[in-house]
Structure 1
Amino acid sequence: MRGVSVLLLWSVVDLSTQYVYDNVTIDYVPRQLTQFKEEHPKPIGVLTTTAGAPVDIRQTVTMNTDIFSNTYHMDTTSNSDVRQIPERTVHARGFGAHGYFEVTHDVSKYTSADVFNGIGKKTPLFGRFSTNIQNKGGQELGREIKGLAVKLYTQEGNLDFLNLHLPVYLYRDPVDFAHFVRAFRRNPKTNIIDYTMIWDLISQRPDVLNNFMWLHSDYGIPDGYRRMDIFPLHTYEITNKHGESFFVKFNFRTELGLANLTTAQAQAIASQDPDYFTRDVYNSIANKKYPSWRLDMDIMTPEQVLNLDYNPFDVTRLWKRGTFKTVTIGRLVLNKHADNDFRDTEQSAYNPANLVPGIPGPIDNMFRARRFAYRDAHKYRLGGNHDNIEINHPKYTKVYNRDGQAPIRDNMHDAPVYYPNTFNGPEPIVDLSHPKVRKHMWDRNSVDLQPNSEFYNDILENDAHRQRLADNLAATLVNVDRHVVKNALSLLSMVSKDLGHRVTVSYKAAQERANAAAKLDAQTRYEPLARCVSLFAQGRLK
């Protein structure tokens, strides 16, 4: 009996003094404040006003006092009034993390860029995951484009890659950006996503259709940010130390393995955890299962580019198989949380024009327009000195720019304010790798549906996948104006008669179900789905 008592006492003591996790991935998200307390057993300091004066405990309440003499109260209220900044026009919902890029292969024959040369070299970076359409507080599991923007802090300046999880862009004429954003966002009268607007735009701008088909295929909803490939999409010009040029497409391939969700799976997860993507990345880093991607580049020589039967600079299409070779550069790893989401993630500002010697960049008109657009957007959202914000600041800068809205950092102290000068202000370099020939690209205005046809007939691996694409497209047409539906079905039939037929059949069936459901009240209509979600939450629906 005494032995039993001793055993019970040991068990109680053991369970009360340690956490035991066997073969379980810890959910660190709800433990964030607990972890902070464990790291800081005592208060981290004395509470102060924003001017640094200690706050007396009697100032932390204002009942029956002169509130306008209470500086702590004035600081707190004023901060609440001004703490918001404009959210991004697109990709407003985001989550960021720090990491590094490591070179694993020698690519010096293709580019002189310091960041990509020297096997084993590591370059710090900050990455921001995002959803394309959702507002800042939106859920993450919708069928919309996901992104990962990456800022590498190289020895030669910041190098930014703005990546999407689909390998084809949404449009190819920069003038379409504003119209695209308006059509795919909420109707200004109803404040609801309106597929009549979306399909009407697509039928008038068919180059949008390829991305839309990718999005509504099985590739549309990744199973979290860690399990998606990401693509900067443009064709970049790169140069080696001899000034020789190559044209490349960069591709970041997930090392965890590509995985996607069906519409039903995404809806089920969203009903339980609308922050699923962010939680997955946060916990993976906390559990030291760091998200990582292999960086490859597809390569063509200028001579090869001149002999192609397609436009390799068109961001709405893939390069044709057999027209390029692929080499590996290195790997991208995210291994550290941002300590403060606003300071790092919300204030991060990415610009595809942030390039480095050895990577002069794309020559297409889309990219040229983006050079201006991103800078303009950052000035509106963060101010003219957004590059001086800590998360955006490069390792080294010497500029002639001065003054303006904070932060201004050292404002270049007392150095000369004009160039050229004879008083030893900063001087430019001579970049021997800079392209020796200025290249121009001319594009056709005609519509080319070949990439859409190739995607449907060759990239989609079987008829089951083709049918799921057709069903997903049909679902978006259910509440669309009839004349727009007619135009959409005609366009899809031009891509493939089989696709047009499948979508037409699926649309008619979906329309009949919608008409029947419309006769029911909302609670009755969604009761079967509610039962499925309940079973899913209980773990009884596999």
Structure 2
Amino acid sequence: MTTQDELRPTLTTESGAPVADNQNTETAGTGGPALIQDQLLFEKLAHFNRERIPERVVHARGAGAYGTFTVTADVTPWTRAAFLSEVGKQTETFLRFSTVAGNLGAADAVRDPRGFALKFYTEQGNYDLVGNNTPVFFIKDAIKFPDFIHTQKRDPYSGSQEADNVWDFWGLSPESTHQVTWLFGDRGIPASYRHLDGFGSHTYQWQNEAGEHFWVKYHFKTDQGIKNLTQAEANKLAGEDPDSHQRDLREAIERGEFPTWTVSVQIMPAADAATYRFNPFDLTKVWPHADYPLVEFGTLELNRNPDNVFAEVEQSVFSPAHFVPGIGPSPDKMLQGRLFAYADAHRYRVGINADHLPVNRPHATEARTNGRDGHLYDGRHGRQKNYEPNSFGGPVQTGRPLWSAVPVTGTTGNHEAPSHAEDDDFVQAGNLYRLMDDGAKQRLIENLSGFIAKVSADRDDIVERAIENFRKADADYGRRLEDAVRELRKQK
């Protein structure tokens, strides 16, 4: 070994034994077959075979960064969450961006919602806020989520995403009209992760020290400005640089150009919910700002890249069930399903001890549970008892719920959501269309018609159902879309 080599650490096996030769397999004589006693060879190959875990069924393609959330306004009249308790208080965060439908190897520059999953490492435990770059979603009940995602993924026969499946489901699910209008509009393909807004999307509960509760919606407005790609620009970028958005985020932080978002919340007094003109817990609808204006209360800055993408981005786990005192769920039926589904997905993908990994465990406090053992358990509890109550000094409950109880009435059953005076699947989609200028409307029609026209030639019924939903949202919207699809299908 050279003097320089002597200064370097020694390569070892997984068990810590020094490696004598990492260049040549041990063989029976020169040029002979490999020996099973070469445990370094088998250890390396076995580890390599297991270097991947099952990718996320949705949100598989992602990028992430650490950052800092800073409180900029007093929100203690509405919540007792400790990390929001005083102006100027800072909390470490980890934010994972993602596309929804694509697999792990898909391109970034595609027409797809962007996941916006934010972990706050608070002194009362981790708080996960799992949202998107859109304020609404395609469906309003979690029981339809597997069906919806199956239409966006590869068909079991063809192995490809099929326009027939997508538009058949959307046409039969008029509640999707609002989100589809968002997706095929100008904001459907963000230019980068730094140039998009984030939303909690769901309705959540805030509770103050007096025990009063409020319904809230989160908004993260990019301070870099909104920037988007046209379909032609995205097609080119996706082919030239599939990692475009991940690369842009990483390199911006490396340059010290830390992206920031202004964080606001809409606040609805609890008593308003029952008589509001539409169901405030419906994920396919927004709350108009004229009714509930934005209350600015914080700034989010991303300022540190992960050192290892697999360990910190792929193995990061988020669950909307990870609340802290003063914040809780709402009766939003999509949220209610996700309270179970997200955590369960990560138990399957990463393992029962996923929350023990550095990126997932609390950073500002300590997790104290009676859960033990399982895959990759690290023995952190030592000799502590694993049951409660016990008389050995183990952790005890506080007796104070994290959020307010919500009164319920009626009988159990598979109920539709309660109807409000202006509940409608089309009004807000039409409003969004009418807000667009002529250029934006034309691009929306081009984006939608190009995809609808791909429906099989013998399935005009699927096409008509799809167009009818947009016609109900706005007559001009439906007419222009119908004309555009007709012309494209003539050319097939």
Q: Normalized against structure 1, the TM-score is what?
A: 0.83
SS at match of 1:390: coil
> By how many angstroms is 1:369 displaced?
1.2
- SS of aligned partner of 2:235: helix
- Structure 1 runs not aligned, ≥5 long: 1-39, 516-542
One-letter code of the match for 1:420? P
Partners of 1:147 and 1:436 lie apart in 2 by 29
Residue 504, structure 1, aligned to residue 472, structure 2: no
| Aligned partner of residue 198 in structure 1, secondary structure | helix
Distance 1:102 1:186, change over 3 A: same
Query: For residue 435 of structure 1, what is the aligned residue in structure 2?
Result: 404
> How many aligned positions are there?
472
Letter in 1 for 2:425: D
Partner of 2:266: 298
SS of the residue aligned with 1:247?
A: strand
Q: Is the 8 A contact 1:131 1:144 kept in 2?
A: yes
Instruction: Tell me which residue corresponds to 1:452.
Output: 429
Structure 1 residue 270 corresponds to structure 2 residue 238 = yes
How is 1:85-124 mapped onto 2 (pairs within 5 angstroms)? 85-124=53-92
User: What is the 5 A alignment of 1:232-381?
Assistant: 232-381=200-349
| Residue aligned with 1:69, SS | coil
After superposing the two structures, state which structure 1 stretch, 474-483 or 303-312, moved more.
Answer: 303-312
Partner of residue 69, structure 1: 37
- Cα distance between partner residues in 2 of 1:323 and 1:58: 67
Residue in 2 that maps onto 1:491 = 469
| Whole-Å separation in 2 of the counterparts to 1:102 and 1:409 | 35
Q: Distance in 1 between matches of 2:74 and 2:204?
A: 19
CA distance in 2, matches of 1:409, 1:207: 48
The Cα of 1:58 is off from its aligned counterpart by: 6.5
The residue type paired with residue 433 of structure 2 is Y
The aligned amino acid for 1:218 is D
> Is the alpha carbon distance of 1:433 and 1:343 closer, same or farther for their aligned partners in structure 2, counting shifts above 3 Å?
closer
Q: Which has the higher relative contact order, 1 or 2, with Cα contacts under 8 A spaced 6 or more apart? A: 2
Deviations along 1:430-486, one digit per CA (max 9) or x if unpaired, are 4377425546797148853212122112x32x1221121111110011121322112
> Does the residue aligned with 1:391 lie in a helix, a strand or coil?
coil
Contact 1:242/1:432, CA 8 A, preserved across alignment: no
- Alignment-mate amino acid for residue 251 of structure 2: N
Query: In the alignment, residue 399 of structure 1 is paired with which amino acid?
Result: T
Letter in 2 for 1:237: Q
3-state DSSP class of the match of 2:91?
strand
Deviation at 1:305, TM superposition (A): 2.5
The equivalent of 1:172 in structure 2 is 140
Larger radius of gyration: 1
Answer whether contact 2:207 2:327 (CA < 8 A) is retained.
yes
Give the structure with the higher percent helix: 1
1:30-49 to structure 2, matched below 5 A, reads 45-49=9-13
Matches within 5 A, 1:140-151: 140-151=108-119
Q: Specify which of 399, 408, 413 is matched with residue 382 of structure 2.
A: 413
- SS of the residue corresponding to residue 280 of structure 2 reads coil
Task: Name the amino acid aligned to 2:400.
Answer: D
What SS does the aligned partner of 1:102 have?
A: strand
Indicate conservation of the 8 Å contact 1:143/1:221, yes or no. yes
Code of the residue aligned with 2:301 in structure 1: it is V
Using the alignment, how far apart are the partners of 1:150 and 1:296 within structure 2? 15
Distance 1:101 1:439 in 2: 35
Letter in 2 for 1:470: I
Alpha-carbon RMSD: 2.1
Question: Which amino acid letter does the alignment assign opposite residue 488 of structure 2?
Answer: A
Distance 1:53 1:145 in 2: 48
Partner of residue 18, structure 2: 54
- Per the TM alignment, residue 243 of structure 1 is displaced from its structure 2 partner at its CA by 0.8
User: Which ranges of structure 2 fall in alignment gaps of 5 or more residues?
Assistant: 410-414
1:484 is paired with a residue of what secondary structure? helix
* TM-score normalized with structure 2 length: 0.91
What residue in structure 2 maps to residue 464 of structure 1? 439
Give how far 1:193 is off: 1.3
In structure 2, give the amino acid aligned to 1:456: Y
2:356 pairs with 1:388: yes
